[in-house]
Structure 1
Amino acid sequence: MPTLEVRDLRVRFGRTEALRGVTLDLPTGVTGLTGANGAGKSTLIRTLATLQRPGAGRLIWDGQDVTRRPGPLRRVLGYVPQEGGAYPHLTPTEFLQYMGAAKRLNARAVDAQIPALLDAVNLGGHAHRPVGTFSGGMARRVLIAQALLGDPRLLILDEPSVGLDAGERLRFQTLIREHARRAAVLLVTHIREDLDATADRLLTLEGGVIVRPGQPHLAAAPDRTPLVGLEIARA
Protein backbone atom coordinates (compact mmCIF):
# COMPACT_ATOMS: atom_id res chain seq x y z
CA MET A 1 0.00 0.00 0.00
CA PRO A 2 1.27 3.51 -0.76
CA THR A 3 2.74 5.70 1.99
CA LEU A 4 2.39 9.48 2.10
CA GLU A 5 5.95 10.76 2.43
CA VAL A 6 6.35 14.26 3.84
CA ARG A 7 9.81 15.74 3.36
CA ASP A 8 11.10 19.00 4.94
CA LEU A 9 7.69 20.67 4.73
CA ARG A 10 7.76 24.42 5.43
CA VAL A 11 4.96 26.97 5.58
CA ARG A 12 5.38 30.64 6.45
CA PHE A 13 2.78 33.32 7.20
CA GLY A 14 4.55 36.68 7.06
CA ARG A 15 7.40 36.50 9.57
CA THR A 16 5.96 33.44 11.29
CA GLU A 17 7.19 30.04 10.15
CA ALA A 18 4.29 27.76 11.06
CA LEU A 19 6.00 24.59 9.81
CA ARG A 20 9.78 24.46 10.11
CA GLY A 21 10.82 21.37 8.20
CA VAL A 22 8.32 18.62 8.96
CA THR A 23 9.40 15.17 7.82
CA LEU A 24 7.26 12.10 8.43
CA ASP A 25 5.72 9.05 6.79
CA LEU A 26 2.05 8.05 6.88
CA PRO A 27 1.91 4.32 6.11
CA THR A 28 -1.08 2.00 6.24
CA GLY A 29 -2.64 2.09 9.71
CA VAL A 30 -3.51 4.89 12.11
CA THR A 31 -0.99 7.60 12.94
CA GLY A 32 -2.02 9.78 15.88
CA LEU A 33 -0.89 13.40 15.90
CA THR A 34 -0.86 15.51 19.06
CA GLY A 35 0.47 18.92 20.02
CA ALA A 36 -0.37 22.00 22.03
CA ASN A 37 -2.38 24.88 20.62
CA GLY A 38 -0.19 26.89 18.25
CA ALA A 39 2.09 23.94 17.52
CA GLY A 40 1.23 24.04 13.80
CA LYS A 41 -1.24 21.15 13.66
CA SER A 42 -3.90 23.02 11.70
CA THR A 43 -1.36 24.23 9.15
CA LEU A 44 0.06 20.72 8.77
CA ILE A 45 -3.39 19.18 8.36
CA ARG A 46 -4.44 21.74 5.75
CA THR A 47 -1.19 21.24 3.86
CA LEU A 48 -1.50 17.45 3.83
CA ALA A 49 -5.14 17.81 2.73
CA THR A 50 -3.89 19.98 -0.20
CA LEU A 51 -5.78 23.05 1.05
CA GLN A 52 -2.55 24.95 1.87
CA ARG A 53 0.39 25.08 -0.50
CA PRO A 54 3.75 24.72 1.26
CA GLY A 55 6.51 27.24 0.79
CA ALA A 56 9.08 24.45 0.56
CA GLY A 57 9.33 20.70 0.89
CA ARG A 58 7.61 17.82 -0.83
CA LEU A 59 4.58 15.57 -0.51
CA ILE A 60 5.12 12.23 -2.22
CA TRP A 61 2.24 9.82 -2.82
CA ASP A 62 2.67 6.49 -4.56
CA GLY A 63 6.05 7.64 -5.88
CA GLN A 64 4.70 10.92 -7.29
CA ASP A 65 5.60 14.38 -6.03
CA VAL A 66 2.13 15.91 -5.55
CA THR A 67 3.29 19.13 -3.89
CA ARG A 68 2.43 21.37 -6.83
CA ARG A 69 0.04 19.04 -8.65
CA PRO A 70 -2.19 17.60 -5.92
CA GLY A 71 -4.72 15.93 -8.22
CA PRO A 72 -3.51 12.34 -7.72
CA LEU A 73 -3.60 12.77 -3.94
CA ARG A 74 -7.01 14.46 -3.89
CA ARG A 75 -8.53 11.55 -5.80
CA VAL A 76 -7.68 9.13 -2.97
CA LEU A 77 -8.22 11.50 -0.02
CA GLY A 78 -10.95 11.55 2.61
CA TYR A 79 -10.99 14.51 5.01
CA VAL A 80 -12.94 15.50 8.13
CA PRO A 81 -12.18 19.13 9.06
CA GLN A 82 -12.34 20.36 12.64
CA GLU A 83 -14.80 23.08 11.69
CA GLY A 84 -17.53 23.29 9.11
CA GLY A 85 -20.25 20.83 8.29
CA ALA A 86 -22.80 19.53 5.84
CA TYR A 87 -25.20 21.98 4.23
CA PRO A 88 -28.15 22.18 6.63
CA HIS A 89 -30.85 22.17 3.93
CA LEU A 90 -29.58 18.89 2.46
CA THR A 91 -30.32 15.42 3.72
CA PRO A 92 -27.36 13.09 4.44
CA THR A 93 -28.10 11.25 1.19
CA GLU A 94 -28.12 14.47 -0.81
CA PHE A 95 -24.96 15.74 0.85
CA LEU A 96 -23.07 12.53 0.15
CA GLN A 97 -24.24 12.64 -3.46
CA TYR A 98 -23.01 16.24 -3.70
CA MET A 99 -19.63 15.32 -2.19
CA GLY A 100 -19.33 12.35 -4.49
CA ALA A 101 -19.79 14.65 -7.47
CA ALA A 102 -17.26 17.11 -6.01
CA LYS A 103 -14.77 14.26 -5.70
CA ARG A 104 -15.58 13.18 -9.28
CA LEU A 105 -16.63 9.73 -8.14
CA ASN A 106 -18.88 7.55 -10.25
CA ALA A 107 -22.47 8.56 -9.41
CA ARG A 108 -23.84 5.02 -9.50
CA ALA A 109 -21.06 3.77 -7.27
CA VAL A 110 -21.74 6.59 -4.81
CA ASP A 111 -25.48 5.84 -4.73
CA ALA A 112 -24.69 2.18 -4.06
CA GLN A 113 -22.29 3.05 -1.25
CA ILE A 114 -24.39 5.64 0.59
CA PRO A 115 -26.77 3.27 2.47
CA ALA A 116 -23.90 1.23 3.90
CA LEU A 117 -21.98 4.35 4.91
CA LEU A 118 -24.96 5.87 6.68
CA ASP A 119 -25.61 2.57 8.45
CA ALA A 120 -21.94 2.48 9.50
CA VAL A 121 -22.31 5.84 11.27
CA ASN A 122 -25.75 4.92 12.64
CA LEU A 123 -27.66 7.37 10.46
CA GLY A 124 -29.48 4.90 8.22
CA GLY A 125 -32.80 5.85 9.79
CA HIS A 126 -32.17 9.56 9.10
CA ALA A 127 -31.04 9.36 5.47
CA HIS A 128 -33.77 11.70 4.20
CA ARG A 129 -33.98 14.16 7.09
CA PRO A 130 -32.41 17.64 6.68
CA VAL A 131 -29.03 17.89 8.37
CA GLY A 132 -30.10 21.22 9.87
CA THR A 133 -32.41 19.31 12.21
CA PHE A 134 -29.57 17.10 13.53
CA SER A 135 -27.72 17.33 16.83
CA GLY A 136 -24.05 18.29 16.71
CA GLY A 137 -22.97 14.66 17.07
CA MET A 138 -25.25 13.51 14.27
CA ALA A 139 -23.97 16.25 11.95
CA ARG A 140 -20.41 15.19 12.77
CA ARG A 141 -21.22 11.64 11.76
CA VAL A 142 -22.40 12.90 8.35
CA LEU A 143 -18.92 14.36 7.83
CA ILE A 144 -17.31 11.07 8.81
CA ALA A 145 -19.50 9.26 6.27
CA GLN A 146 -18.58 11.67 3.45
CA ALA A 147 -14.88 11.25 4.20
CA LEU A 148 -15.24 7.51 3.56
CA LEU A 149 -16.88 7.93 0.15
CA GLY A 150 -14.97 6.09 -2.53
CA ASP A 151 -12.99 4.01 -0.01
CA PRO A 152 -10.12 6.57 0.26
CA ARG A 153 -6.55 5.34 0.61
CA LEU A 154 -5.59 8.37 2.72
CA LEU A 155 -7.89 9.57 5.50
CA ILE A 156 -7.20 12.78 7.45
CA LEU A 157 -9.35 13.28 10.55
CA ASP A 158 -9.21 16.51 12.54
CA GLU A 159 -10.97 16.07 15.93
CA PRO A 160 -13.50 13.77 14.24
CA SER A 161 -15.27 12.44 17.35
CA VAL A 162 -16.00 15.77 19.06
CA GLY A 163 -19.68 15.78 20.01
CA LEU A 164 -20.09 11.99 19.84
CA ASP A 165 -21.49 10.20 22.87
CA ALA A 166 -19.71 7.17 24.33
CA GLY A 167 -21.55 4.62 22.21
CA GLU A 168 -21.02 6.49 18.96
CA ARG A 169 -17.36 7.03 19.84
CA LEU A 170 -16.90 3.26 20.14
CA ARG A 171 -18.63 2.82 16.79
CA PHE A 172 -16.31 5.43 15.27
CA GLN A 173 -13.21 3.73 16.68
CA THR A 174 -14.25 0.38 15.22
CA LEU A 175 -14.96 1.97 11.84
CA ILE A 176 -11.56 3.67 11.73
CA ARG A 177 -9.67 0.53 12.77
CA GLU A 178 -11.42 -1.39 10.00
CA HIS A 179 -10.66 1.25 7.36
CA ALA A 180 -7.01 1.52 8.47
CA ARG A 181 -6.40 -2.08 7.40
CA ARG A 182 -6.30 -0.84 3.82
CA ALA A 183 -5.50 2.87 4.10
CA ALA A 184 -3.24 5.42 5.76
CA VAL A 185 -5.11 7.32 8.47
CA LEU A 186 -3.96 10.49 10.24
CA LEU A 187 -5.96 11.05 13.43
CA VAL A 188 -5.59 14.44 15.12
CA THR A 189 -7.40 14.51 18.46
CA HIS A 190 -7.16 15.54 22.10
CA ILE A 191 -9.34 12.58 23.12
CA ARG A 192 -7.03 10.05 24.72
CA GLU A 193 -9.52 7.18 24.37
CA ASP A 194 -9.50 7.52 20.57
CA LEU A 195 -5.71 7.31 20.49
CA ASP A 196 -5.62 4.35 22.87
CA ALA A 197 -8.18 2.47 20.82
CA THR A 198 -6.96 3.14 17.29
CA ALA A 199 -3.44 4.56 16.91
CA ASP A 200 -0.59 2.31 15.76
CA ARG A 201 1.97 5.09 16.21
CA LEU A 202 2.15 8.59 17.67
CA LEU A 203 3.70 11.85 16.50
CA THR A 204 3.95 15.08 18.48
CA LEU A 205 4.21 18.46 16.77
CA GLU A 206 5.82 21.31 18.69
CA GLY A 207 6.81 24.70 17.32
CA GLY A 208 6.29 23.56 13.74
CA VAL A 209 8.48 20.46 13.94
CA ILE A 210 8.01 16.83 14.89
CA VAL A 211 9.68 16.46 18.28
CA ARG A 212 8.75 12.87 19.03
CA PRO A 213 9.40 10.24 16.36
CA GLY A 214 6.51 7.88 15.72
CA GLN A 215 6.78 5.40 18.55
CA PRO A 216 5.16 2.07 17.65
CA HIS A 217 2.72 0.94 20.29
CA LEU A 218 -0.14 -1.50 20.53
CA ALA A 219 -3.64 -0.07 20.40
CA ALA A 220 -6.10 -1.00 23.11
CA ALA A 221 -7.86 -3.94 21.52
CA PRO A 222 -8.59 -7.06 23.67
CA ASP A 223 -5.15 -8.51 22.92
CA ARG A 224 -3.32 -5.18 23.00
CA THR A 225 -1.87 -2.86 25.60
CA PRO A 226 -3.12 0.74 26.00
CA LEU A 227 -0.89 3.79 26.12
CA VAL A 228 -0.05 3.71 29.81
CA GLY A 229 2.50 6.18 31.11
CA LEU A 230 3.27 7.73 27.72
CA GLU A 231 3.21 11.51 28.01
CA ILE A 232 1.22 13.08 25.20
CA ALA A 233 0.98 16.82 24.61
CA ARG A 234 -2.72 17.65 24.50
CA ALA A 235 -4.05 19.29 21.36
Structure 2
Amino acid sequence: MLLELNHITKKYDNTTVLHDVSFALKPGVYGLLGSNGSGKTTLFRIICGVMKQSAGSVKYNHDDVQLNPDAFRSVLGYLPQDFSYYPDFTGMKFMLYIAALKGMNKNYAKHRSLELLKLVGLEDVAKKKIKKYSGGMKQRLGIAQAMINDPEVLILDEPTVGLDPKERVRFRNLISSFSENKIVILSTHIVSDIEYIADEILVLNQGKLENRGVSSELVSTIHGDVWECVVEASKLKEMVANYVISNQKHSEKGTVLRIISKEKPTRDALQVQPTLEDLYLYYFREDSKK
Protein backbone atom coordinates (compact mmCIF):
# COMPACT_ATOMS: atom_id res chain seq x y z
CA MET A 1 0.00 0.00 0.00
CA LEU A 2 1.29 3.44 -0.94
CA LEU A 3 -0.58 6.75 -0.95
CA GLU A 4 1.26 9.54 -2.75
CA LEU A 5 0.45 13.23 -2.95
CA ASN A 6 2.48 14.97 -5.61
CA HIS A 7 2.69 18.79 -5.64
CA ILE A 8 -0.93 19.30 -4.54
CA THR A 9 -1.99 22.93 -4.92
CA LYS A 10 -5.45 24.38 -4.38
CA LYS A 11 -6.47 27.93 -5.30
CA TYR A 12 -9.69 29.85 -4.83
CA ASP A 13 -9.62 32.91 -7.09
CA ASN A 14 -6.48 34.74 -5.89
CA THR A 15 -6.12 32.79 -2.65
CA THR A 16 -3.87 29.73 -2.47
CA VAL A 17 -5.10 27.36 0.24
CA LEU A 18 -2.58 24.57 -0.38
CA HIS A 19 0.94 25.20 -1.66
CA ASP A 20 2.76 22.36 -3.47
CA VAL A 21 2.08 19.69 -0.82
CA SER A 22 3.91 16.40 -1.41
CA PHE A 23 4.31 13.29 0.73
CA ALA A 24 4.09 9.50 0.50
CA LEU A 25 2.48 7.29 3.14
CA LYS A 26 2.77 3.56 3.83
CA PRO A 27 0.60 1.64 6.35
CA GLY A 28 0.59 3.33 9.75
CA VAL A 29 -1.11 6.13 11.67
CA TYR A 30 -0.35 9.69 10.60
CA GLY A 31 -1.42 12.76 12.53
CA LEU A 32 -2.07 15.93 10.53
CA LEU A 33 -1.32 18.85 12.82
CA GLY A 34 -2.53 22.32 11.88
CA SER A 35 -4.54 25.25 13.13
CA ASN A 36 -7.90 26.41 11.73
CA GLY A 37 -7.39 27.60 8.16
CA SER A 38 -4.17 25.65 7.64
CA GLY A 39 -5.73 23.58 4.84
CA LYS A 40 -6.29 20.24 6.61
CA THR A 41 -9.92 19.73 5.57
CA THR A 42 -9.22 20.90 2.01
CA LEU A 43 -6.37 18.38 1.76
CA PHE A 44 -8.60 15.58 3.04
CA ARG A 45 -11.36 16.46 0.58
CA ILE A 46 -8.90 16.35 -2.30
CA ILE A 47 -7.55 12.94 -1.23
CA CYS A 48 -11.12 11.60 -0.97
CA GLY A 49 -12.18 13.02 -4.34
CA VAL A 50 -14.78 15.37 -2.86
CA MET A 51 -12.85 18.34 -4.24
CA LYS A 52 -10.47 18.74 -7.18
CA GLN A 53 -7.00 20.17 -6.79
CA SER A 54 -5.79 23.05 -8.94
CA ALA A 55 -2.52 21.24 -9.63
CA GLY A 56 -0.77 18.00 -8.69
CA SER A 57 -1.96 14.42 -8.33
CA VAL A 58 -3.07 11.84 -5.76
CA LYS A 59 -1.88 8.30 -6.45
CA TYR A 60 -2.68 5.03 -4.74
CA ASN A 61 -0.35 2.13 -5.47
CA HIS A 62 1.08 4.29 -8.29
CA ASP A 63 -2.30 4.76 -10.00
CA ASP A 64 -3.83 8.24 -10.33
CA VAL A 65 -7.05 8.03 -8.28
CA GLN A 66 -8.86 10.48 -10.61
CA LEU A 67 -8.52 8.03 -13.50
CA ASN A 68 -10.44 5.32 -11.59
CA PRO A 69 -12.21 7.00 -8.65
CA ASP A 70 -14.59 4.09 -8.00
CA ALA A 71 -11.68 1.70 -7.42
CA PHE A 72 -10.13 4.06 -4.89
CA ARG A 73 -13.45 4.72 -3.14
CA SER A 74 -13.85 0.96 -2.64
CA VAL A 75 -10.75 0.92 -0.40
CA LEU A 76 -11.38 4.33 1.20
CA GLY A 77 -13.06 5.21 4.50
CA TYR A 78 -13.81 8.86 5.32
CA LEU A 79 -15.15 10.70 8.35
CA PRO A 80 -15.62 14.35 7.35
CA GLN A 81 -15.49 17.12 9.92
CA ASP A 82 -19.12 18.00 9.14
CA PHE A 83 -20.37 14.41 9.35
CA SER A 84 -24.05 14.34 8.34
CA TYR A 85 -26.70 11.70 8.96
CA TYR A 86 -30.43 11.04 8.62
CA PRO A 87 -31.90 11.81 12.08
CA ASP A 88 -34.85 9.41 11.68
CA PHE A 89 -32.58 6.50 10.74
CA THR A 90 -31.54 4.13 13.48
CA GLY A 91 -27.83 3.55 13.92
CA MET A 92 -28.15 0.11 12.30
CA LYS A 93 -30.21 1.38 9.37
CA PHE A 94 -27.67 4.13 8.73
CA MET A 95 -24.80 1.63 8.71
CA LEU A 96 -26.67 -0.59 6.24
CA TYR A 97 -27.41 2.47 4.08
CA ILE A 98 -23.70 3.36 3.90
CA ALA A 99 -22.89 -0.29 3.11
CA ALA A 100 -25.43 -0.24 0.26
CA LEU A 101 -23.85 2.92 -1.17
CA LYS A 102 -20.54 1.06 -1.25
CA GLY A 103 -22.14 -1.92 -3.01
CA MET A 104 -21.56 -4.37 -0.18
CA ASN A 105 -23.28 -7.78 0.04
CA LYS A 106 -26.39 -7.49 2.26
CA ASN A 107 -25.60 -10.42 4.55
CA TYR A 108 -22.00 -9.33 5.05
CA ALA A 109 -23.10 -5.72 5.51
CA LYS A 110 -25.39 -6.70 8.39
CA HIS A 111 -22.66 -8.76 10.05
CA ARG A 112 -20.08 -6.01 9.58
CA SER A 113 -22.46 -3.30 10.86
CA LEU A 114 -23.21 -5.23 14.06
CA GLU A 115 -19.50 -5.88 14.55
CA LEU A 116 -18.59 -2.20 14.19
CA LEU A 117 -21.46 -0.90 16.34
CA LYS A 118 -20.28 -3.22 19.09
CA LEU A 119 -16.70 -2.09 18.55
CA VAL A 120 -17.59 1.59 19.06
CA GLY A 121 -19.94 0.92 21.97
CA LEU A 122 -23.25 1.49 20.18
CA GLU A 123 -24.55 -2.08 20.16
CA ASP A 124 -27.23 -1.33 22.79
CA VAL A 125 -28.60 1.67 20.86
CA ALA A 126 -28.35 0.18 17.36
CA LYS A 127 -32.16 0.35 16.99
CA LYS A 128 -32.50 3.84 18.45
CA LYS A 129 -32.99 6.82 16.12
CA ILE A 130 -29.85 8.88 15.57
CA LYS A 131 -31.61 12.11 16.57
CA LYS A 132 -31.75 10.70 20.10
CA TYR A 133 -27.99 10.04 20.20
CA SER A 134 -25.67 12.27 22.20
CA GLY A 135 -22.93 14.20 20.40
CA GLY A 136 -20.35 11.61 21.37
CA MET A 137 -22.56 8.75 20.17
CA LYS A 138 -23.04 10.43 16.79
CA GLN A 139 -19.29 10.85 16.46
CA ARG A 140 -18.74 7.17 17.26
CA LEU A 141 -21.31 6.29 14.61
CA GLY A 142 -19.32 8.44 12.18
CA ILE A 143 -16.18 6.48 12.98
CA ALA A 144 -18.04 3.17 12.51
CA GLN A 145 -19.47 4.14 9.11
CA ALA A 146 -16.00 5.17 7.93
CA MET A 147 -14.79 1.64 8.61
CA ILE A 148 -17.77 -0.24 7.11
CA ASN A 149 -15.82 -1.52 4.07
CA ASP A 150 -12.70 -2.40 6.07
CA PRO A 151 -10.81 0.34 4.18
CA GLU A 152 -7.14 0.26 3.29
CA VAL A 153 -7.04 4.07 3.54
CA LEU A 154 -8.91 5.73 6.42
CA ILE A 155 -9.26 9.53 6.57
CA LEU A 156 -10.56 10.97 9.85
CA ASP A 157 -11.14 14.73 10.07
CA GLU A 158 -11.43 15.78 13.74
CA PRO A 159 -12.61 12.29 14.84
CA THR A 160 -12.41 13.00 18.60
CA VAL A 161 -14.69 16.07 18.57
CA GLY A 162 -17.51 15.48 21.06
CA LEU A 163 -15.85 12.48 22.71
CA ASP A 164 -15.25 12.52 26.45
CA PRO A 165 -11.82 11.41 27.80
CA LYS A 166 -12.95 7.80 28.23
CA GLU A 167 -14.31 7.66 24.67
CA ARG A 168 -11.11 9.22 23.33
CA VAL A 169 -9.07 6.45 24.97
CA ARG A 170 -11.40 3.87 23.39
CA PHE A 171 -10.96 5.55 20.00
CA ARG A 172 -7.16 5.62 20.30
CA ASN A 173 -7.08 1.94 21.21
CA LEU A 174 -9.41 1.17 18.30
CA ILE A 175 -7.16 2.93 15.78
CA SER A 176 -4.06 1.26 17.17
CA SER A 177 -5.68 -2.17 16.97
CA PHE A 178 -6.15 -2.21 13.20
CA SER A 179 -3.60 0.30 11.89
CA GLU A 180 -0.94 -2.29 11.09
CA ASN A 181 -2.36 -2.98 7.62
CA LYS A 182 -4.00 0.38 6.92
CA ILE A 183 -3.00 3.92 6.06
CA VAL A 184 -4.77 6.07 8.67
CA ILE A 185 -4.62 9.87 8.52
CA LEU A 186 -6.32 11.89 11.23
CA SER A 187 -6.46 15.51 12.22
CA THR A 188 -7.43 16.87 15.61
CA HIS A 189 -6.98 19.96 17.74
CA ILE A 190 -6.50 17.68 20.75
CA VAL A 191 -2.74 17.39 20.53
CA SER A 192 -2.52 14.56 23.05
CA ASP A 193 -4.62 12.30 20.77
CA ILE A 194 -2.05 12.63 17.99
CA GLU A 195 0.83 12.31 20.43
CA TYR A 196 -0.51 9.00 21.76
CA ILE A 197 -1.36 7.17 18.55
CA ALA A 198 0.43 8.71 15.55
CA ASP A 199 3.47 6.86 14.20
CA GLU A 200 4.37 10.05 12.38
CA ILE A 201 3.17 13.65 12.42
CA LEU A 202 2.73 15.96 9.43
CA VAL A 203 2.75 19.68 10.24
CA LEU A 204 0.60 21.72 7.85
CA ASN A 205 1.06 25.46 8.33
CA GLN A 206 -0.71 28.02 6.12
CA GLY A 207 -1.19 25.45 3.38
CA LYS A 208 2.42 24.26 3.34
CA LEU A 209 3.89 21.01 4.66
CA GLU A 210 6.27 22.61 7.13
CA ASN A 211 7.65 19.54 8.86
CA ARG A 212 7.28 15.80 9.21
CA GLY A 213 8.57 13.19 11.63
CA VAL A 214 7.89 11.18 14.76
CA SER A 215 6.74 13.17 17.78
CA SER A 216 10.08 13.01 19.59
CA GLU A 217 11.97 14.21 16.50
CA LEU A 218 9.67 17.18 15.96
CA VAL A 219 9.65 18.16 19.62
CA SER A 220 13.46 18.05 19.68
CA THR A 221 13.51 20.93 17.15
CA ILE A 222 12.48 23.31 19.95
CA HIS A 223 14.77 21.81 22.59
CA GLY A 224 16.19 24.71 24.57
CA ASP A 225 13.33 27.05 23.59
CA VAL A 226 10.86 26.21 26.38
CA TRP A 227 11.18 27.92 29.77
CA GLU A 228 9.40 28.21 33.08
CA CYS A 229 9.57 31.24 35.34
CA VAL A 230 7.62 32.94 38.11
CA VAL A 231 6.50 36.52 37.50
CA GLU A 232 4.81 39.10 39.70
CA ALA A 233 1.28 40.20 38.95
CA SER A 234 2.53 43.64 37.83
CA LYS A 235 4.65 42.08 35.05
CA LEU A 236 2.18 39.44 33.89
CA LYS A 237 0.46 41.57 31.22
CA GLU A 238 3.81 42.59 29.72
CA MET A 239 5.03 38.97 29.57
CA VAL A 240 1.82 37.75 27.92
CA ALA A 241 2.10 40.52 25.33
CA ASN A 242 5.74 39.81 24.47
CA TYR A 243 6.01 36.00 24.64
CA VAL A 244 4.21 32.85 23.55
CA ILE A 245 2.75 31.40 26.75
CA SER A 246 1.88 27.70 26.56
CA ASN A 247 0.64 27.50 30.14
CA GLN A 248 0.22 29.60 33.24
CA LYS A 249 -0.77 28.77 36.78
CA HIS A 250 -0.91 30.71 40.03
CA SER A 251 1.30 29.95 42.99
CA GLU A 252 2.06 31.59 46.32
CA LYS A 253 5.14 33.26 44.82
CA GLY A 254 3.34 34.61 41.73
CA THR A 255 2.25 33.31 38.33
CA VAL A 256 4.23 30.40 36.88
CA LEU A 257 4.58 30.83 33.13
CA ARG A 258 5.61 28.24 30.56
CA ILE A 259 7.16 30.25 27.74
CA ILE A 260 8.34 29.38 24.24
CA SER A 261 11.23 31.64 23.31
CA LYS A 262 14.63 31.46 21.60
CA GLU A 263 15.96 33.86 24.21
CA LYS A 264 15.86 33.44 27.98
CA PRO A 265 12.74 35.44 28.95
CA THR A 266 13.78 36.36 32.55
CA ARG A 267 16.91 36.13 34.63
CA ASP A 268 15.58 33.25 36.75
CA ALA A 269 13.84 31.32 33.92
CA LEU A 270 14.68 27.61 33.76
CA GLN A 271 14.76 25.45 30.64
CA VAL A 272 12.23 22.60 30.63
CA GLN A 273 11.56 19.65 28.34
CA PRO A 274 9.30 20.62 25.39
CA THR A 275 6.08 18.78 24.58
CA LEU A 276 4.06 18.38 21.38
CA GLU A 277 1.65 21.00 22.70
CA ASP A 278 4.57 23.43 22.97
CA LEU A 279 5.47 22.60 19.38
CA TYR A 280 1.90 23.25 18.25
CA LEU A 281 2.00 26.73 19.78
CA TYR A 282 5.45 27.32 18.32
CA TYR A 283 4.13 26.72 14.81
CA PHE A 284 0.66 28.17 15.12
CA ARG A 285 1.10 31.19 17.36
CA GLU A 286 -0.87 34.21 16.25
CA ASP A 287 2.15 36.44 15.71
CA SER A 288 4.84 35.56 13.18
CA LYS A 289 7.90 35.84 15.42
CA LYS A 290 9.77 32.64 16.15
Q: Distance in 2 between matches of 1:217 and 1:20?
A: 24
Q: Does the 8 Å contact 2:77/2:155 carry over to 1?
A: yes
CA shift for structure 1 position 26: 2.2
1:181 equivalent in structure 2 = 180
1:150 aligns with 2:149: yes
Aligned residues: 225
Distance 1:136 1:65, change over 3 A: same
Verify the 8 A CA contact 1:86 1:142 in the aligned structure 2.
Answer: no
Determine if contact 1:12/1:55 at 8 Å carries over to the other structure: yes
Given the two structures, how large is their TM-score scaled by the length of structure 2? Answer: 0.74
Give the AA of the match of 2:103: R
Which residue identity is paired with 2:169? L
Q: CA deviation digits over 1:126-148, x for unaligned, max 9?
A: 01000000111111111110001
Listed as ranges, the matches of 1:55-74 within 5 Å are 55-74=54-73
Provide the identity percentage. 36
Deviation at 1:84, TM superposition (A): 2.8
Match of 1:119 in 2: 118
**Cα distance 1:117–1:71, how it changes in 2: closer, same or farther (>3 A)?**
same
Structure-2 separation of matches of 1:23 and 1:146: 28
Structure 2: segments with no counterpart, 5+ residues: 217-272, 286-290
Contact 1:79 / 1:155 at 8 angstroms: preserved in 2?
A: yes
SS at match of 1:138: helix
Deviation at 1:11, TM superposition (A): 1.2
Task: Tell me how far 1:69 sits from its aligned partner.
Answer: 3.4
Structure 1 alignment gaps of length 5 or more: 219-226
Matched residue, 2:195: 196
| Paired residues of 1:53 and 1:67 also in contact (CA < 8 A) | no
**Are residue 215 (structure 1) and residue 213 (structure 2) matched?**
yes
Shift of 1:228: 5.4
Q: What's 1:21 paired with? A: 20
| 1:229 and 2:275 correspond | yes
Ranked by relative contact order (alpha carbons within 8 Å, sequence separation 6 or more), the top structure is 1
Structure 2 contact 77–146 (Cα < 8 Å) conserved:
yes
CA RMSD between the two structures: 1.7
TM-score norm. by structure 1 comes to: 0.91
What corresponds to 2:127 in structure 1? 128
- Report the AA paired with residue 213 of structure 2: Q
In structure 2, the CA distance between the partners of 1:69 and 1:17, relative to structure 1 (3 Å rule), is: farther
